[in-house]
Amino acid sequence: MTVFAAALLRYIPNIVGQNLILLFFVDGVLKYRFKNRKRICIIAVALSLLFGVLISWNAIDPFPGEYRVEVGTVRVEDIEVDVNDADDFPEVSQALVSIIMVVVMAVEVREKILRKIAVAIFSTSILSEFTMLFTLLHSTVMGFFKNSEMTVYLFIGSMYLFMFLEFLLLYYIANLRTKYDNTPMPIRILFVAFVFFGLFVSVFTGLLSGESNTNIRRVITIVSLLMVLAGTLIFFYIRAARKERSKLLDVNSANEQLIAAQTEYFEASARADKEIRAIRHDMKNNIQVLSLLLENNEYDKMRDYLDELGEDLQSTDVSAHTGNTIADAIIAEKKQKASGLGLTLNSSGQIKGVEISSVDMCKMLANILDNAIEAASDPSLSELSSDIKTITLDFRSTGNFFMMIATNPCATCPEIKDGQIKTTKKEKENHGFGIKNISSAASNYGGEVSLSCEPAPYGGNFTIEVMIPIN
C-alpha cells in the first residue's frame, strides 16, 4: 500500500460520508427539506471526491515513506498514520468544503433567505461539533492501544465504525422526529445547540490536549461523552413526546369540533327534510292560491307570495355541496353560527383532486371559518350592510393545485410577517390562533398557506388561501 493510497482510503470515504450525513442531518433530523434531494446529493459526492483527492495528496509528508502523526502511531512497514484525530484535514481545504456545503444548502433549503442562511450555518457547525464528540470518543478508545501494534486497516475500520455509530444515532433521531415531530427545528433551538456543543467540545479538547492521559481519565472521558450523546437522544425523545401529546390534544379538539359539526349537520338535515315534506303537503294549497291571485290579476300579491315560498325553500338548503361530507357538515355548522351573529356565509366550488383526512379537514376549515366569523363579528362592524358582512368560501381546482380561499371583512388589517399574523392583543382575538394549526395540517399534504389583507373604508378584507398540490 502506498502512502497516497492510504491517504485516499482514509480521507475520501470520510469526506463523502460526513457530507452525506450532513445532508441527512438537515433534511432528516432538523426537517428542513431540500428542493431536490438527488441533485444536492450528487453535488455533495462530487465535491467530496474532488477535495478528498486534493487533501489526500497534500497530506503526504515530504519526507519519503512517512505519514506524520501527533499522538500515537500505527506502523505498516514505513507508513505512519495519525490515530489522534481522524478528521484532522488541512485547515484551508476543510474550510473550503464547509463553505461550499453551506452555500449549496442555503440555495437548496426550502425556506426564506435569512432562515436558509441560519439553517445552513448552524446545521454545519452543530454537526461538525457533534462529529467531534465521536472523534474524541474514537481517539480516547484508541488511546488504550497507544503502545500496541495495529494494522492501518484496523485503525481505519475503527474510524469508520464510529462514523457509522454516529449515523445510526442520527437515523434513530430522524425516525423519532418523523413519527412524532415532523416539523422544522426552531432556529432558537439550533442556536442553543450550536453554543452548547461548541463550548463542550472546546472544553474537552483542552482537557485531552495534555500528555498525562491515564486510563482512568480515558474512562471518565468516555463516560462523559456517552452521557452527552445520551442527553442529546433524551432531549429529542422528550421533545417528540411533548409534540405527540400536543398532537393528541389537537386531534381530540378537532374530533370534538367534528362531532359537533356532524351533529348540527344531521339536525339541520332533519329539520330541512321536515320543512320539505311540509311544503310538499301544502303544494296543492299553494297552487290554488297562486291560481286565484292570477285570475284576479293581483300580480303584486302573487309576487309577494312567490317570494315567501322562495325563502322557505332557501331555508331548507343546509350546506354547500362540496363533494366532501365532512366539509359540508363543518360549513353547515358554521353557517348557523354566522347567521346567529348577523353574518352571511357563502360557499362555492367542490373539493376534488385531493384526499384530506377528516381531522385535517376539520383543523383547516373549522379554524378558517372560526377566525373569519370572529373577525367579521367585531362590534365596530355592526353598522355595516349585510352585503359587506359576508364571508365567502371558495374551493377551486387547477391542473396542479387544489385551493381553499376564504375572505372576510375585518375592523383593521393585521400586520402579516413570514406567513403569520403579528397583531395587538385585540386583533389576535379577532383573527384567532388557528393559523399555525391550518399551516400544520396543510403541510401534511405538501401545502402552503398565504395571508393577505386589502384595506377598505371600514377596515379591510382579510383573505387566507390554502394551496395543496394535486397528486
For residue 133, pLDDT beyond 90: no
Percent of the chain with pLDDT over 70: 73
Cα separation, 247 vs 249, in Å, equals 5
Of 10-19, 111-120, 248-257, which has the strongest mean pLDDT?
111-120
pLDDT of 79 over the 60 cut: no
Stretch among 29-33, 234-238, 432-436 having the lowest mean pLDDT: 432-436
Predicted pLDDT at 462? 94
The SS3 assignment for 448 reads strand
Of the candidates 463, 438, 442, the residue with the CA atom closest to the CA atom of residue 451: 463
Read off the C-alpha cell for 358.
377528516
CATH number of 320-471: 3.30.565.10
pTM of the full predicted structure? 0.56
- In this model, does residue 150 exceed pLDDT 70? no
pLDDT of 74 over the 50 cut: no
Q: CA torsion sign, 325 to 331 to 335 to 337?
A: positive
CA distance 327 to 333: 10
Q: Where are the domains of the chain?
A: 3-213, 320-471
One-letter amino acid of 399: G
Per residue in 167-208, pLDDT tens?
999 999 998 888 877 778 889 899 999 999 888 888 777 666
Which carries the bigger pLDDT value, residue 407 or residue 440? 407
Res 402: pLDDT: 93
What is the pLDDT at residue 453?
Answer: 92
Q: Which residues pair with 403 in a beta bridge?
A: 396, 467
What's the rounded Cα separation, in Å, for the pair 346 and 350?
13
Query: Mean pLDDT for the chain?
Result: 77
Question: Using one digit for the tens of pLDDT, what is the confidence trace for 83-96?
Answer: 333 344 445 566 67
Rounded mean pLDDT, 243-270: 67
pLDDT of 250 over the 90 cut: no
DSSP assignment of 213-259, as one string? --HHHHHHHHHHHHHHHHHHHHHHHHHHHHHHHHHHHHHHHHHHHHH
Residue from 163, 156, 160 nearest 81 by CA: 156
Q: Using the predicted structure, report yes or no on whether residue 297 has a pLDDT greater than 90.
A: no
Higher pLDDT, 321 or 175: 175
Instruction: Give Cα separations from 307 to 25, 302, 313, 331 (angstroms).
Output: 66, 9, 10, 25
Residue 85: name the closest of 22, 21, 128, 44 by CA.
128
Residue 65 in this model has a pLDDT that exceeds 50 = no
Which pLDDT score, from 0 to 100, does residue 322 have?
85
- 384 burial type by CB count under 10 A (0-12 exposed, 13-18 middle, 19+ buried): middle
Region of residue 119 (left: phi > 0; alpha: psi -120 to 50; beta: else) = alpha
Of 368, 455, 380, 463, nearest to 413 by C-alpha is 455
Instruction: Tell which residue, 445, 456, 442, has the closest CA to residue 464.
Output: 442
Q: Give 153-176 pLDDT, tens digit per residue.
A: 677 788 888 889 999 999 999 988
